């Protein structure tokens, strides 16, 4: 029999395929609230968005959200706390921060525009995003790159490696303690490049201007590698999460393009992480059936969220067969089910998901996290998700 483990121990043992007391149960990142309460501006979300009041203040104000967080704490739910660094911002080709200035403009009480200005020797580039009050995401109003002249501008900026300030990361990891596992998010080269374009333009350029796209990917890859190597040598970990290049999965791109534009670069980054005895988590929405064997071959340790149809193209049970207990899977309760289903249905879905995922190398979680105030139904369903996950996911192993 395994004694009750801490969340830190449970998650790491699960990823490594070792015996645990139960499967990890993760409704969302409950530790994030502590960071919001502290008003941290050092660490960033994977979107590049700071933990600010305008977009994320709802998490402090929403009584439903706080009730779920309290319930999760009482039940000992698990957390993988994800963060990133300014120098790894995926929107600007990892150029030195000295070349970027920011202007904010209030459109209304509910909407703000943030413009990033990049000064280059060949002219100015700008990127504009729209933020909405109490919604934890953003919308691109103007992409950074819109033509070949813009590509020349971004590539003309002299690159100089700048070390990240790691003190806040280690302080946060210390504060997290054994309540969860710290995870550093790093966008992969293709993801970084795609985020500099309007996505339809990016896909068109993959077909018509592949040489330019590959130049950008290779440029960003070299910079990511330098930053990641510095982080790993400095002790950042134990989990590094990569944006899993979901932009290159079907129907956006063919398996052959994934092999050409993703695998050669991501595989080297994964090898670097594992050489430093850290674990690799990949985040990849959408249709991943054709991608799973490639992730397995690259040596991925943990994959989320493994969406079932119609959002994805593979059932959890089939995904388990493909990865052959060599990748820990996270999944895969649909966020929409928490919005619309009954508590009885959530209990059934959790039981079925645990049955399909198995009690080895599986983490129970939701395919998306909430980005604004919870409804009463969502609150009840989150609490049911936690209850059912702990009940049906607990087990003894001899």
Predicted confidence (pLDDT) per residue in 32-45, tens digit: 876 666 655 444 44
| Mean pLDDT of the residues in the chain | 91
Predicted confidence (pLDDT) per residue in 339-375, tens digit: 999 999 999 999 999 999 998 999 999 999 999 999 9
Sign of the C-alpha dihedral computed for residues 282, 288, 291 and 293 taken in this order: positive
**pLDDT for 396:** 64
**pLDDT for 30:** 86
φ/ψ of 244, rounded to 5, equals -80, 30
Q: How far apart are CA 102 and CA 118, in angstroms?
A: 9
Predicted confidence (pLDDT) per residue in 3-58, tens digit: 689 999 999 999 999 999 999 999 998 888 766 666 554 444 434 444 477 888 89
Q: How far apart are CA 117 and CA 369, in angstroms?
A: 31
Say which range, 41-50, 60-69, 302-311, has the weakest mean pLDDT.
41-50
**pLDDT for 49:** 47
Residues 6+ apart with CB under 8 A from 190: 217, 245, 247, 248, 261, 262, 265
Report the C-alpha dihedral over residues 250, 256, 258, 264, rounded to 10 degrees.
170
Contact 147, 202 (CB under 8 A): no
**pLDDT for 56:** 85
Q: Work out the pLDDT band at 395, boundaries 50, 70, 90.
A: confident
How many Cα atoms sit within 13 Å of 62 on the Cβ side?
23
**pLDDT for 43:** 45
CA-nearest of 309, 307, 345, 41 to 172 is 41
Q: Which domains does the chain have, with CATH numbers?
A: 7-95+159-393 (3.20.20.210)
Say which range, 2-6, 16-20, 63-67, 280-284, has the weakest mean pLDDT.
2-6
**pLDDT for 106:** 94
Percent above pLDDT 90 for the chain = 80
How many whole angstroms from its chain centre is CA 336? Answer: 19
pTM of the model: 0.92
Sign of the C-alpha dihedral computed for residues 375, 377, 383 and 385 taken in this order: negative
User: Do β-strands 80-83 and 181-187 pair in parallel, antiparallel, or remain unpaired?
Assistant: parallel
pLDDT above 50: residue 397: no
**pLDDT for 8:** 97
pLDDT above 90: residue 126: yes
Q: How far is CA 225 from CA 133, 218, 220, 274, in A?
A: 35, 11, 9, 13
pLDDT above 50: residue 233: yes
Range picked from 92-106, 168-182, 262-276 for highest mean pLDDT: 262-276
């Amino acid at each position: 029999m395994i004694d009750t483990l801490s969340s830190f121990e449970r998650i790491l043992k699960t990823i490594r395929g070792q015996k645990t007391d139960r499967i990890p149960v993760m409704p969302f990142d409950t530790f994030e609230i502590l960071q919001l309460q502290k008003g941290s501006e050092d660490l960033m979300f994977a979107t590049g968005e700071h933990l600010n009041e305008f977009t994320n203040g709802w998490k402090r104000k929403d009584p439903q959200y706080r009730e779920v967080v309290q319930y999760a704490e009482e039940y000992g739910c698990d957390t993988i706390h994800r963060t990133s660094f300014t120098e790894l911002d995926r929107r600007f080709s990892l150029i030195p921060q000295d070349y970027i200035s920011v202007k904010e403009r209030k459109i209304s009480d509910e909407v703000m525009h943030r413009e990033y200005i990049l000064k280059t020797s060949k002219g100015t580039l700008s990127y504009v995003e729209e933020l909405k009050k109490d919604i934890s995401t953003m919308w691109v109003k103007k992409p950074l790159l819109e033509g070949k002249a813009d590509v020349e501008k971004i590539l003309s900026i002299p690159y100089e490696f700048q070390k990240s300030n790691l003190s806040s990361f280690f302080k946060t990891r210390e504060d997290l303690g054994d309540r969860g596992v710290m995870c550093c998010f790093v966008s992969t080269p293709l993801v970084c490049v795609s985020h500099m374009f309007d996505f339809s333009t990016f896909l068109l350029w993959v077909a018509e201007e592949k040489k330019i796209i590959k130049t950008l990917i290779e440029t960003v890859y070299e910079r990511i590698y330098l930053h990641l190597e510095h982080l790993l040598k400095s002790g950042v970990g134990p989990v590094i999460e990569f944006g899993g290049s979901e932009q290159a999965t079907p129907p956006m791109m063919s398996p052959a393009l994934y092999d050409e534009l993703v695998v050669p670069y991501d595989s080297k980054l994964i090898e670097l992480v594992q050489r430093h005895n850290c674990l690799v988590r990949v985040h990849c929405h959408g249709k991943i059936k054709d991608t799973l064997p490639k992730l397995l071959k690259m040596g991925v340790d943990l994959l989320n969220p493994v969406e079932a149809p119609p959002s994805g193209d593979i059932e959890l049970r089939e995904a388990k067969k493909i990865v052959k207990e060599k990748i820990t899977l996270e999944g895969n309760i649909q966020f929409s089910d928490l919005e619309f289903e009954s508590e009885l249905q959530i209990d059934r879905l959790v039981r079925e998901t645990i049955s399909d995922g198995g009690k080895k190398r599986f983490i129970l979680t939701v395919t998306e996290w909430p980005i604004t105030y919870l409804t009463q139904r969502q609150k009840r369903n989150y609490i049911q998700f936690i209850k059912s996950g702990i009940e049906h996911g607990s087990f003894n192993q001899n």
